[in-house]
Amino acid sequence: MMKKIVGILLVMGVLTWGAYAEGVPEVSSQVSKEVDTSYAFGMVIGSDLKQTGLVFNYNAFVRGLKESMEDKETRFTMDDAVLKVQTAFMAAMAKRAEENRQKEAAFLEQNSKKPGILLTSSGLQYEVIIEGSGQKPEGSDMVQVNYKGTLTDGTVFDSSYSRGEPAEFPLDAVIPGWTEGIQLMSEGAFYRLYVPSKLAYGEQGAGSVIPPYSTLIFEVELLSILEDPEVGLEETEPGEEAPEEPVEEAE
């Protein structure tokens, strides 16, 4: 059916060219624009629907589209159609989630057997690329890091390197896998963290970027533990000036 649709578009293109050759360029331009726009809509809709994993009967799809747009009598009421679409989406999402769950379990099992992979009691896996020599942060500390996050297939979904500057955040405000993993590191360390979905975004995933049951792989450099700007300030009575922030003494 897809070939048939492309064939129809090609025929329309030939007819358009014929009209142009006969000296009617304004008609040609309009038809060509409609063809291009219609094809573009098909591409966008098809790309979105492909991600669902649903299988379509193109004849029925085009018929439903045409009859609805032309206000003709349709096989279902709109309420029934919406219910069918929702049911199909839910079934497809459940199927894909289960497939992802099985893939994740297989990946984590195989990865845990690789040389250099360490495992914590929570299920977090990690490997030490470069060991640090500074302090280790605590769970409520603010840290500065450089990192790159990928899915197990290598897809990059986030990177401070691509933004051109390190990230800063409190460890108690990120996913559990990060909170735990960064506390294993000393300042100056470079680790690779393998964060299971249960320590990340779980069975829900994160929008269209991170699918359900996704193990996330982070390459992380712990640059420094940042001081709380409130540390060192004494409480003052109203009207009193706060003392200046302490200045490090020169060695």
Catalytic residues: 147, 157-158, 175, 201, 218
What's the burial of 126, exposed, middle or buried (CB within 10 Å: 0-12/13-18/19+)?
buried
User: Please, what is the angle between helix 2-21 and helix 58-69, to 10°?
Assistant: 50
Question: In angstroms, rounded to a whole number, what is the distance separating the alpha carbons of residues 17 and 9?
Answer: 12
Q: How far apart are CA 143 and CA 173, in angstroms?
A: 11
Which residue has 């009859």 as its token pair? 67
| Token pair for 29 | 């331009």
